Amino acid sequence: MRYLISGATLPDGSGADILVAAGTIAAVGRIPDADAAGATVVDASGLVALPGLVDLHTHLREPGYEQSETVLTGTRAAAAGGFTAVFAMANTLPVADTAGVVEQVKSLGDAAGYATVRPIGAVTVGLAGQTLSEIGAMARSRAAVRVFSDDGKCVHDSLLMRRALEYVSTFDGVVAQHAQDPRLTEGAQMNESALSSELGLKGWPAVAEESIIARDVLLAEHVGARLHVCHLSTAGSVDVVRWAKARGIAVTAEATPHHLLLTEELVRSYDARYKVNPPLRRDEDVRALREGVADGTIDIVATDHAPHPQESKECEWDAASFGMVGLESALPVVQTALVDTGLIGWADVARILSTEPARIGRLAGHSHAFEPGSAANLTLVDPAASSTFELDRLHGRSTNSPYLGATLSGSVRWTFHRGYPTLRDGVLADVTETAEAATAYTEAFS
Ligand SMILES: NC(=O)N[C@@H](CC(=O)O)C(=O)O
Ligand SMILES: [Zn+2]
Ligand SMILES: [Zn+2]
């Protein structure tokens, strides 16, 4: 199948046609009619073409928590949000701490066909924080794991963290740390502040995050390894990472869309859709995170898409699960919080949502630029449109979105994964090339 994407705006603001053929970008620029003969025309006037979005932090929940999400449903949500690759977190059941589990997750992703799935390996066996998992075997496996994380839990033991950093540096891997001092956050339910006292909820101090990041950047410097910090949520964390980068430490950092838009004030509703780890913080923190993205201290935006079943959200605050779904809303939140506010432009969006996460995760073979010959992974966004998040706009198995009923600016219209549309003019495509694989998938795993 050949597609002529006509009249798109590239991230740098220039206009171009893009010819997609045989899974690759065949040509970019003014494309002669003869070259485009027979191609399906996609009218992209008014649309911004971005390299396919890459999420370095997605919870796909399979194996083990298929009532919340599966690799198939999660990657359908990814495609709907403009993503062509996702890194799947390791807090599944069993935990992704062996070559067998990461290979299974990769195979499920291949079979589903909606996005490239790169498994993340656990740092410690069972995420228990006691002994290192078989990091080398996962790196050498068919899944070629490069990112390791105990996300959901912090690698708290300093010596284990040191050993993990040393180990991954031997094959250019990276440890993605969930920075949360467990003792300082025992039983914590929301940001520690005047509001947490007022609401009578146990507070989660900023220092619980900042102190771990400070320790880890120093450890990374000491052993000469790459460190990635998940979901920065406080102004102090931005300061620590800024300091570390100025010192030349190989640290990268992410912010989630929700920490760039929402504040702890929402907790007043006691609506557990706003319960997330790390917690929503203050206005000052949101401002500092936005500045951190704008000045490059924060390298990427990652969704931390964390599906949970209704019963674990529709209950009292203390009993509810932490986490929000975020794949479909990520681009509109980024546009609303960062582009519409004038802090960044579309070239920066391409960088923070595609090229940089791909580089940090060592995602080989993913197209980052509209260069002839590269794989056709791309996303078309209508910045003049808006997105209202109703239940039918969520394609995953869980609906714990903080934006239900809300309208954000920007709308993802088309997603192309390896040359075929996974989202067509806002409608999730039936991935025909992989329909048989999808059937086999359902039979094998349901
Ligand atoms: N972010 C969350 O609130 N929850 C995540 C775990 C995590 O990212 O730490 C989950 O797995 O549900
Ligand atoms: Zn986390
Ligand atoms: Zn997470």
- How far apart (Å, rounded) are the C-alpha atoms in residues 417 and 23? 8
Same structural domain, 61 and 38: no
Whether 446 maps to a domain, the answer reads no
Whole-complex ipTM: 0.99
**Tens of pLDDT, residues 269-308:** 999 999 999 999 999 999 999 999 999 999 999 999 999 9
Which helix (H) or strand (E) covers residue 293, if one does? helix 283-294
Q: Which atom of ligand 1 is nearest to the CA of 231?
A: 8
Spatial distance between the Cα atoms of 41 and 381, rounded to a whole number of angstroms: 16
Mean pLDDT over all residues of the chain? 95
Counting the structural domains of the chain, the total is 2
Ligand 2 center to 71 CA (angstroms): 19
My answer on whether 11 and 149 are in the same domain is no
What's the whole-number mean pLDDT along residues 397-416? 98
Per-residue pLDDT at 436 exceeds 90: no
CA of 308 to the centre of ligand 2 (A): 14
Instruction: Assess whether the C-beta atom of 272 lies below 6 angstroms from ligand 1.
Output: no
CA-nearest residue, atom 8 of ligand 1: 152
Ligand 3 centroid distance, CA of 16 (Å): 37
Q: Give the CATH number for residue 89.
A: 3.20.20.140
> Which has more pLDDT, 348 or 1?
348
Q: Is 421 in the pocket of ligand 1 (CB under 6 A)?
A: no
Question: Residue 114 is part of which domain span?
Answer: 52-361
Active site positions, annotated: 304
Task: Specify whether the CB–CB gap between 396 and 325 falls below 8 A.
Answer: yes
Last-in-domain residue among 336, 361, 386:
361
**The pTM is what?**
0.96
Give the tens place of pLDDT for each residue, 101-138: 999 999 999 999 999 999 999 999 999 999 999 999 99
Q: Based on the fold, state whether residues 230 and 312 are members of the same structural domain.
A: yes
In the block, residue with structure tokens 């790459």: 226
Say if strands 24-29 and 420-424 run parallel, antiparallel, or are unpaired: unpaired
Task: For residue 364, give the amino acid letter.
Answer: A
Shortest-distance atom of ligand 1 to CA 57: 8
Q: Look up residue 220 and give its amino acid.
A: A
Question: How far is CA 302 from each of CA 20, 147, 165, 171, 281, rounded to the nearest angstrom?
Answer: 27, 14, 21, 23, 17
Decide if 123 contacts 225 (C-beta within 8 A).
no
Q: Tell me: do 270 and 403 sit in the same domain.
A: no
* Helices assigned H by DSSP within 66-204: 71-80, 99-112, 135-140, 158-169, 194-199
Same domain, 145 and 179: yes
pLDDT at 164 over 50: yes
Ligand closest to 321 (CA) is 1
> Which tens digit of pLDDT belongs to each residue from 331-352?
999 999 999 999 999 999 999 9
The region, left, alpha or beta by phi > 0 then psi within -120 to 50, assigned to residue 418 is: left
> Which residue's CA is minimally distant from atom 6 of ligand 1?
152
CB 26 within 8 A of CB 36: no
Confidence of residue 432 (pLDDT cuts 50, 70, 90): low
230 and 277, same domain (yes or no): yes
Q: For a pocket test of ligand 1, which of 68, 155, 185, 277 has the largest count of ligand atoms closer than 8 A to its C-beta? A: 277
Same structural domain for residues 44 and 58? no
Same domain for 103 and 29, yes or no, is no
Domain-ending residue, one of 334, 361, 388: 361
Q: What is the CA(206)–ligand 1 centre distance, in A? A: 17
Which pLDDT belongs to residue 444? 38
Determine the Cα–Cα distance for residues 345 and 411; give it in Å rounded to an integer: 16
How many CA atoms, within 13 angstroms, populate the side-chain half-sphere of residue 323?
Answer: 24
